[in-house]
Amino acid sequence: MIARILDRRQRPRLRRETPAALKWAPACNRMDTTMSEHPVVGAPERILLPRRLRAPEVVSLLGDIRRRQGTGPLVLDFREVEEFDSSTLALLSYVRNGPEGLSPVNVVGALARAEESFARKRADGAPAARPEAGGWAGRFFRSVADRFLGSIRSVGLFLTMFGDEVYHIGVYLRKRKGVYPGEIWNQMFFMGYQSFPIVCLLLFLVGVTISITSAEQLQLFGADIYIADIIGYAMLRELVPLMTGVILAGKVGAAITAELASMTVLEEVDALKTMGLIPEKFLMVPRLLAITLVVPLLVAMADVAGIFGGMLVAQVTFGMTPMAFLDQMVNTVDWIDFAWGLIKTVVFGWAVVVGAGYKGLTVGRSAEEVGRATTESVVLSVTLIIVIDCIFAFVIY
Amino acid sequence: MDIISARGLAVGYGTAEVLRDLSFVIPEGLISVVLGVSGSGKSTLLKTLAGLLPPLEGGFEFSGAPVDYASEASLGALYRRIGVLYQGGALLNGLTLFENIALPIRMHFPEMPEEMVKDMVHNGLAQVDMADAAAKYPAELSGGMRKRGALARALVLDPDVVFCDEPSSGLDPITSSLLDDLLLRLKDTFGMTLVVVTHELRSIERVADRVLVLNAGRLHYAGDAAGLSASGDPFIRTFFLKKDSQDDA
């Protein structure tokens, strides 16, 4: 019985306060207009809002208003509202400026003062209204143009940084100043020694996969022996450089961007500048020299791993001995294939390091941007690798 | 004598002007405090004076020579004569405290014998009472220790001016007071010029010789610290009223 009484208290029914005024019932989450004792056709319906009108009640009231839209004008009576918050003020603003047929009355007391104060503050701090020319089409084309110009600017900055780095390396090799002693070795350890296992493992698996895929087709034509040519040529010229570049982008590039971006956010890059150092030299030259020195070793080991993978499958599938495989391979591939693969990978490595450095050093000042820059760095590096690979394909073949 | 002299300086980011029409001087051998509410442009002004952010208009002279942001030589000359203590310390996390402090020496004087580098670093650490923390990495130091370590790095090449960006921020009152003592000692012992950005009123009261007050994008007051406390200006009074209420608490 008590529970039923409480339940009834918590769910007040709408009631008419004045000939055209209803008390709104927030808890029941609906407005029962059938409660109107004397409905007046065409007259605005008046809803007396409760004493407490905070976010939960406001959300509930808005639901009721939406359901009632189109049934006639609605007047919200705020005279009894004593407990309110910023959502109440937002509701008032919505009622005053929102859909037609809604109007507030009796906004009095503390609520009126709060509304006036907020309106004044917002007017003081409001930016000057800018005319939005062209509607959605104008906004769309402006956005496209902004992105296009932004991309052009980014490409310009990236190329400038690339040129700067070449210059800094030249200066460093001549004067041996401006780079922290031992940093090149640290970077070589990280980029080479710590990347070697993953590069070799992945290239071994790629060799196995390519070999298995090719073996099936070659067997159809009785051309088993050519598996050695395919593996050797594909590995040296294309797969090792491309895969090594992508692994470097994911492992080395992301780490460089995250590190440099964190340093930028933590003002360490500014500190380097005010110590009279050039961050683009101090931070980038060791990394670029390290990748240049490490890539040939990585490529050589990755070539061996990839060819070994292919050779293993050839032996298992065709019973081809390793010596026969290597004999056949060296008949087709030449040292120039290895050299092109090496040159390509060094260029990919440079693209990864400069791209990662560019993203890291041009980051904003928040931790959120560090994560974004790191992701963008990997995307940029992989894109650069594929574009450069495509250019190489035109040049080499 | 004035070591820094700014005329018609406007500073900001991109096209957004944060402060405009600033004309002031920083006298040599004193502590000048840049004061203002949060977001008033104190750190932005400091970045411009430290050669990190080009002015949007006007300019300033350092030791009588105009600083040209377009010239690497001019900026290089400025960097050689200043030290900066950043808000978070900005020690390089990959290096020990010793290596951090040795960094400017090793970079600018690679031919200097390692024994001398060690000596200079240990002198710097002793100045900030951190002689036993040389082998620690920044991550192993407390906030106050990181700031003192960063101050040692800023001082290691004996700059003419040290800029301190909110040295007390994030520190408890005792550590903050120790840092203030350190700044005073640098001024009194070595005659160093310090430019301190802060809004800590207790700190201002203790260390400031001169005060620059920034408000609403302009220089609101520039003068002696004593003149500031006697000022009847409503904005300045607001600061001091806050201070009084803090003292009462």
> Which pLDDT band holds residue B163 (cuts at 50, 70, 90)?
very high
Q: Does the pTM exceed 0.80?
A: no
* Closest to A269 (Cα-Cα) out of B88, B36, B214, B108: B88
Higher pLDDT, B32 or A79: B32
* Tens of pLDDT, residues A124-182: 665 555 556 667 888 888 889 988 998 898 889 999 999 999 999 999 999 888 888 78
Q: How far apart are CA B2 and CA A76, in angstroms?
A: 66
Is pLDDT of A82 > 90? Answer: no
Distances (CA, A) of A222 to A227, B1, B159: 11, 93, 79
The shortest CB-CB distance from A277 to any of B93, B107, B150 is to B107
Among the listed ranges A118-122, A184-188, B241-245, which one has the minimum average pLDDT value?
B241-245
pLDDT score recorded for residue A225: 86
- Judged by a CB distance cut-off of 8 A, whether residue B90 touches chain A is yes
Is pLDDT of B223 > 50? Answer: yes
Q: How far apart are CA A276 and CA A307, in angstroms?
A: 49
The shortest CB-CB distance from A274 to any of B52, B88, B92 is to B52
Domains and CATH numbers, chain A: 13-125 (3.30.750.24), 162-396 (no CATH)
Rounded to an integer, the average pLDDT of A36-45 is 56
B88–A271 C-beta distance less than 8 A: no
pLDDT score recorded for residue A2: 39
**Beta-bridge partner residues of B9:** B22
pLDDT score recorded for residue A41: 52
* Tens of pLDDT, residues A194-238: 999 999 999 999 999 999 999 888 888 888 888 999 999 999 999
The shortest CB-CB distance from B106 to any of A181, A263, A266 is to A181
Q: Which residue of B has its CA nearest to A176?
A: B110
**Contacts of residue B103 in chain A, CB cutoff 8 Å?**
180, 275
3-state secondary structure string across chain A: CHHHHHHHHHCCCCCECCCCEEECCCCCCCCCHHHCCCCCCCCCEEEECCCEECHHHHHHHHHHHHHHCCCCCEEEECCCCCEECHHHHHHHHHHHHCCCCEEEECCCHHHHHHHHHHHHHHHHHCCCCCCCCCHHHHHHHHHHHHHHHHHHHHHHHHHHHHHHHHHHHHHHHHHCCCCCCCHHHHHHHHHHHCCHHHHHHHHHHHHHHHHHHHHHHHHHHCCHHHHHHHHHHHHHHHHHHHHHHHHHHHHHHHHHHHHHHHHHHCCHHHHHHHCCCCHHHHCHHHHHHHHHHHHHHHHHHHHHHHHHHHHHHHHHHHCCCHHHHHHHHHHHCCHHHHHHHHHHHHHHHHHHHHHHHHHHHCCCCCHHHHHHHHHHHHHHHHHHHHHHHHHHHHHHC
- Judged by a CB distance cut-off of 8 A, whether residue B3 touches chain A is no
Q: Dmax of chain B from CA atoms?
A: 57
B50–A266 C-beta distance less than 8 A: no
A176–B92 C-beta distance less than 8 A: no
Choose from B46, B92, B165, B166 for mutation: most chain A CBs within 10 A. Answer: B92
pLDDT score recorded for residue B242: 57
Rounded to an integer, the average pLDDT of A6-25 is 47
With contact defined as beta carbons under 8 Å apart, do A168 and A357 qualify? no
**Contacts of residue A176 in chain B, CB cutoff 8 Å?**
110
The shortest CB-CB distance from A275 to any of B47, B93, B107 is to B107
Is pLDDT of A30 > 60? Answer: no
- Judged by a CB distance cut-off of 8 A, whether residue A128 touches chain B is no
A270–B107 C-beta distance less than 8 A: no
pLDDT > 90 in chain B, percent = 58
* Tens of pLDDT, residues A292-304: 999 999 999 999 9
Q: How far apart are CA A386 and CA A356, in angstroms?
A: 16
With contact defined as beta carbons under 8 Å apart, do B225 and B211 qualify? yes
pLDDT score recorded for residue A132: 61
A274–B84 C-beta distance less than 8 A: yes
Is pLDDT of A5 > 80? Answer: no
* Tens of pLDDT, residues B105-140: 988 888 899 999 999 999 999 988 888 999 999 999
- Extract the tokens encoding A145: 């143009």
Is pLDDT of A8 > 60? Answer: no
**Contacts of residue B104 in chain A, CB cutoff 8 Å?**
275-277
Is pLDDT of A28 > 90? Answer: no
pLDDT score recorded for residue B19: 92
- Judged by a CB distance cut-off of 8 A, whether residue A255 touches chain B is no
The mean pLDDT value of chain A amounts to 84
C-beta contacts of B69-75 below 8 A and 24+ residues apart? B75/B51
Q: How far apart are CA A288 and CA A347, in angstroms?
A: 11
pLDDT score recorded for residue A4: 42
What is the side-by-side order of every strand in the sheet holding B218-224?
A: B82-85, B161-165, B193-198, B31-36, B210-215, B218-224
- Judged by a CB distance cut-off of 8 A, whether residue A277 touches chain B is yes
- Judged by a CB distance cut-off of 8 A, whether residue B184 touches chain A is no
Rounded to an integer, the average pLDDT of A347-369 is 93
pLDDT score recorded for residue A318: 84
> Which pLDDT band holds residue A31 (cuts at 50, 70, 90)?
very low
pLDDT score recorded for residue A22: 57
